[in-house]
A and B are shown apart, each in its own frame.
Chain A
Amino acid sequence: MDDKLYRPFCLSTGEIIREMSEIDIVGMDSLEEESSELTSMGISSIITFAGARKGRLLLDMEPGLALSMAGAVLGGEYGDVKDPMVLSLVSEVNNIISGNAITGINNEFLMDLRLAPPVVFAGRDLVISIPRLRSFSSWGETEFGRIRINVAWEGGAS
């Protein structure tokens, strides 16, 4: 695995979530290859990127974390992950995480990658049906729940 195409997403996830919501993530410092189907922990967002190569980032988290992030960023209290503002927030957080990671990758490798608008969905244990690609996940913990990112590149991991 070429670490330089995966690691930026781990770093960006921790930095962006801390900057936007002041929530710290513990972990998310290693990547493991996924060997089984991906199932949602509660709320998930997928963003694809394309240029010299194609890839995607899945951002997945437990409901408690999504609701706490919404409260911290938007103010007020949120009790339902299907609230449009909560869904929209997770989607935008994924957009910003991906944009920051891709900016670094573009500057270093001149891959001219561009993002597509993200999709988001809510529901625990949903099987996330996405094209079968070799992918790597990184897990983190927060005081409000777990978070995972899963990164895949077409053409393999190098």
Chain B
Amino acid sequence: MELRELKTTVEKESTIKRILLVDDSPIIHKLLRRTLEAHGYEVCGDARNGREAVSMYQSLKPDLVFMDITMPVMDGLEASGEILSMDPQARIIMLSAMGDEQIVSRAEELGIVNFLKKPFNDYKIISAISGIV
């Protein structure tokens, strides 16, 4: 499916509008924000570590979270565990440079809806969102 066609399908069916970004790299925030805003999503918050993500999730109640794994203070798996224990309906997509079998299976056990490996492009991001709507 072409990106434009995929985007139209996602827009029609999606209940996802507001997205929280969690990554310690400002580069990833900039690239993800550019992709998401170009496709009509609102980035409602930028968290730099897992601890900030848990706190911002509670206050912002986003429709979706893009979560890195390797971060200072609290990593993305631990933060996802805390978010999902507060809100079992939380939708979290892991976006990480790491993707070995052990990490992916730990993410699945936690209830992570999708796991993407960096680097990414627009198609990968929009496909991942379409996979959960």
Contacts and interface: CB of A to CB of B under 8 A. Distances in A.
Contacts of A84: 26
A5 interface: no
Contacts, number: 60
Dominant secondary structure of chain B at its interface with chain A? loop
Contacts of B117: 99-100, 103
Interface string B105-133: 00000000000011100000000000000
A36 interface: no
Interface residues of A, number: 25
A55 to B, nearest CB: 15
Nearest to A99: B97
B26 A95 contact: no
A106 B31 CA distance: 28
Given A99-B96, A112-B102, A115-B70, A74 B118 contact: no
Nearest to A101: B97
Nearest to A102: B98
B101 interface: yes
Contact of A99 (B24, B31, B99): B99
Interface residues of B, number: 20
B100 A19 contact: no
B115 to A, nearest CB: 12
Contacts of A88: 25-27
A91 B25 contact: yes
Interface string B19-54: 000001111101100000000000000000000000
A20 interface: yes
Interface in B62-121: 70-72, 96-102, 117-119
B98 A103 contact: yes
Contacts of B100: 102-103, 106-107
Contact of A85 (B27, B97, B118): B27
A89 interface: yes
Ranked nearest first, the 5 interchain pairs of A and B with the lowest CB-CB distance are A99-B97, A106-B100, A96-B97, A92-B25, A99-B98
6 contacts: A85-B30, A91-B25, A95-B118, A96-B97, A103-B99, A114-B98
Given A92-B28, A106-B102, 7 more contacts: A74-B27, A74-B31, A85-B26, A103-B97, A103-B100, A115-B70, A115-B98
